Amino acid sequence: MPIQSKNTDKISLREAISIGIGGMVGGGIFAVLGLAVSLAQGGTPIAFFFAGIIASLTAYSYSKLSLAFPDRGGTVKFINQGFGKTVFSGTINNLLWVSYIVMLSLYASAFGSYAPNLYQLTGKTSMDSHIYLSAIIVLATVINYYSISVVSKIESFAVIVKLIILLAFVGIGIHGLFGNPNLEQLAISNWESPLLLLTGGMVIFVAYEGFELIANAAPDMVNPEKNVSKAYNYSVWFVVFLYVIIAIVTVGSLPFKTIAKAEDYVLAEAAKPMLGQVGFTIITIAALISTFSAINASLYGGSRVSFEVAEDDELPHHLTSTLWNKPIGLLITAVLTLLIANTLELESISTAGSAGFLLIFAIVNYVAFKLSKQISGKRIISLFGFLMCAIAFITLLIQQYTSNFVGVIVILSIILCCFVIEYVYKKHVS
């Protein structure tokens, strides 16, 4: 969420970059790193780079749309600009809301995976995880109802803490790679096939979700013609290089067997060879802070999306009403997050979240392609972004169909439900 300058209501380039980086470096990297290694093995850095290229192409489309149609509604407004207020645009905007809920579930699952490493409640890791993830969703919901300013302060603090810790991890980790026998795991001979590398990158694409939040801040930016594109480019490529280096350090520090055993909290485990138990604890705390802040911010963002969609008559207007002075979508978002996080496995959540945002970003890229003259954009870049997102989406579903059938069914069911709800509402209710 936007952090305002002290002396003006405008958002500076530095603040806009922090919004993008803060949105991406949330709970995603802590949640999906182990999953990425299990899919891509020694090619994990390449998988993250693949995903980063798609994020960068999409960021270009977002930057052009943000300049042409500055609106705090961001993605919702771009899609409506491209397709009007139709059943199709309503379906995609509903999918955006649900995808935020899926992301919330991912962050909560990550919190539940890391927390028992600090303190066990029942002695049963699985039960402890469910207790922790449920408790943190409830706590974040209470905070959102109490004060949005508290949410903003938590996010501002968390961005600084998690970046300092992750950069320290990278610095110490690179030094620890020298002479480490596990460094050989990064050899090309240990890479999975190109298809699995691509799939691995797409499953963990959720780690890049968040740069689109810059669009919501674009109307308030200083010198937007110059700074909007810089904010997108700088934030995305900073995170791409950060993730690639983190992947290199992790794969080069730990044997594959150890990574597989600690898949849900592998980043903390990767700190052990360098700093022992102290490093493990520090990264665990960083993960808890990051996922908690991501849950806080995403709860707010998700409820705002439901409000925007309802305001545009793509969901019942009842969703613009308030409950305890907050959009009713906040409570609905929290309840659905609790349901998904306690029902699905991490890989299924990650697959559904990645697929959802890949489809949404494909549509946004298509809008930029369609309106290229109006937004002064390069058609070829937006077209390439659309094709890359579409191919990645289809590849992800096909590959995951055999290894993670539940995740594929979940995302297809979500898309179908979004369509049915929108069709019924548009044709028979509104």
The pLDDT value given to residue 4: 43
| pLDDT number for residue 81 | 92
Q: What is the pLDDT of residue 411?
A: 92
Question: What is the rounded distance in angstroms from the CA atom of residue 241 to the CA atom of residue 247?
Answer: 10
pLDDT in tens, 58-81: 999 999 999 999 887 889 999 999
How remote is the C-alpha of 180 from its chain's centroid?
32
In the chain, the amino acid numbered 346 is L
Residue-wise pLDDT for 354-391, tens only, equals: 899 999 999 999 999 999 999 999 999 999 999 999 99
pLDDT at 127 over 90: yes
Which residue from 259, 86, 80, 264 is spatially nearest to 186, judged by alpha carbons?
Answer: 259
pLDDT value for 5: 42
Return the pLDDT at 320. Answer: 63
pLDDT (mean) for 103-107: 90
Mean pLDDT for 233-250 is: 93
Higher pLDDT, 148 or 409: 409
pLDDT digits (tens, 9 = 90+) for 151-161: 667 777 777 88
Dihedral sign (CA 247, 340, 75, 379): positive
Locate all alpha helices (DSSP H) within 371-404, ordered by sequence.
Answer: 372-375, 379-403
Residue with more model confidence, 164 or 387: 387
Task: Give me the half-sphere count of Cα atoms (radius 13 Å) on the Cβ side of residue 281.
Answer: 5
Q: To which residue do tokens 């797409």 refer?
A: 202
pTM, full prediction: 0.88
pLDDT given at position 316 = 73
Predicted pLDDT of residue 9:
64
Q: What pLDDT sits at residue 152?
A: 67
With bands split at pLDDT 50, 70 and 90, how would you rate the model's confidence at 88? very high
Q: Domain 13-429 falls in which CATH fold?
A: Amino acid/polyamine transporter I (1.20.1740)
Collapse the DSSP code of 85 into the 3-class scheme (helix H, G, I; strand E, B; otherwise coil) and give the result.
coil
User: What are residue 25's phi and psi, to 5 degrees?
Assistant: -85, 65
| Domain spans of the chain, in order of start | 13-429
Q: What pLDDT score was predicted for residue 321?
A: 66
Neighbours of 320 (CB within 10 A): 16
Region 381-406 average pLDDT: 90
CA separation, residue 426 to residues 160, 197, 412 (Å): 44, 41, 21
Query: According to the model, what pLDDT value does residue 7 have?
Result: 41
Cα–Cα distance between 268 and 400 in angstroms, integer?
27
Average pLDDT of the chain to the nearest whole number: 86
pLDDT band at 38 (very low <50, low <70, confident <90, very high): confident
Q: What is the pLDDT of residue 3?
A: 42
Q: Please give the Cα distance from 296 to 29 (Å, whole number).
A: 17
Percent residues over pLDDT 70 in the chain: 94
**For residue 318, what are the CA distances in angstroms to 307, 336, 430?**
9, 18, 12
Per-residue model confidence (pLDDT) at position 33: 86
Number of helices (H) and strands (E), helices first, in the chain? 18, 2
